[in-house]
Amino acid sequence: MIGRLNHIAIAVPDLAAAAARYREGLGAQVGQEQVLAEHGVRVIFIDTGNTKIELLQALDGNSPIAAFMARNPGGGMHHICFEVADLAAAIKRLTAEGARVLGDGNPKIGAHGRPVVFVHPKDFDGTLIELEEV
């Protein structure tokens, strides 16, 4: 069902400072900041050639990332995103197996302009999983 690893997301307390560390410290290709109001975050993608790193920061205290940052004030790995060919079929299969799709269960448009859903971390060994239709 899953395809390529699309990205690994790292929640950070300061998006600009984190992007600078990757750009200056590692010589990474750092993309432009995007605001994803529907998801309550600001993001910057770093292209690593074979996948991406997504740096994300909460827009405000109501962001889903805000609770994560309260528990992890220095930041940390937030989720892993896998590509799927058919998101509706993936949701159907996962829910039939007892996995919980977060939110209302319906896809939202993600940072790449494609439909995404998140699967509860308790259903995947403590790791939040994002599925992105490609």
Return the DSSP state at 101.
B
Residue in 54, 83, 130, 133 annotated catalytic? 130
Residue of 95, 96, 104, 102 whose CA lies nearest to 121: 102
Task: Report the alpha-carbon distance of residue 108 to residue 87 in Å, rounded.
Answer: 11
* 130 part of the active site: yes
Contact 80, 127 (CB under 8 A): yes
Strand partners, 76: 11
- Catalytic positions, written as ranges: 130
